[in-house]
């Protein structure tokens, strides 16, 4: 890897099928409040205990896109890392994430097009071993040839 490539970045030349990277994060009330502020999504199911208790979730839940943002963090910081460009993402939300939940976000390389620098990643988030989000991302990976 070249000296000016950010630490943790994996260039297309070094990406291999089956590579996996992950992170773990506890979703806090503050995370949910900040996401509501930044996104302007103030749905009371995320912010109001009384309201949320009367929904099918029987309590407050994190924004789905906050959870999906953890996938983005793994991609942008670890695999491939800094310099990666998102090209597409599919998502399916399987279960709610609640304040206090420890989310395990993981991406795995499932396809590589070296000539186009494209990488397809299987994406998942889990809470207590249960999948809460699944999907696939296509990204443009950094290359040593374009430094």
pTM over 0.85: yes
Sign (positive or negative) of CA dihedral 26, 105, 141, 139: negative
Q: How confident is the model at residue 1 (pLDDT cuts 50, 70, 90)?
A: very low
> Does pLDDT of 73 surpass 70?
yes
Percent residues over pLDDT 90 in the chain: 92
> In whole angstroms, what is the distance from residue 73 CA to residue 16 CA?
20
In this predicted structure, the answer to whether residue 38 has a pLDDT above a threshold of 80 is yes
- Residues 135-140 have a mean pLDDT of 98
Confidence band of 3 (pLDDT split at 50, 70, 90): very low
Domain map (residue ranges) of the chain: 13-146
Domain 13-146 fold: Thiol Ester Dehydrase; Chain A (3.10.129)
What's the pLDDT score for residue 146? 63
């Amino acid at each position: 890897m070249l000296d000016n490539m950010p630490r943790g970045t994996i260039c297309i030349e070094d990406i291999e099928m089956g590579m996996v990277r992950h992170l773990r994060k506890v979703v806090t009330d503050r995370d949910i409040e900040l996401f509501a502020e930044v996104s302007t999504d103030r749905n009371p199911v995320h912010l109001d205990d009384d309201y949320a208790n009367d929904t099918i979730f029987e309590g407050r839940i994190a924004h789905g896109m906050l959870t999906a943002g953890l996938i983005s963090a793994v991609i942008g910081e670890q695999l491939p890392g800094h310099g990666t460009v998102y090209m597409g993402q599919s998502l399916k939300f399987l279960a709610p994430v609640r304040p206090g939940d420890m989310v395990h976000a993981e991406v795995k390389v499932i396809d590589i097009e070296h000539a186009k620098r494209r990488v397809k990643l299987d994406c998942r988030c889990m809470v207590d071993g249960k999948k809460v989000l699944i999907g696939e991302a296509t990204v443009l990976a950094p290359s040593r040839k374009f430094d």
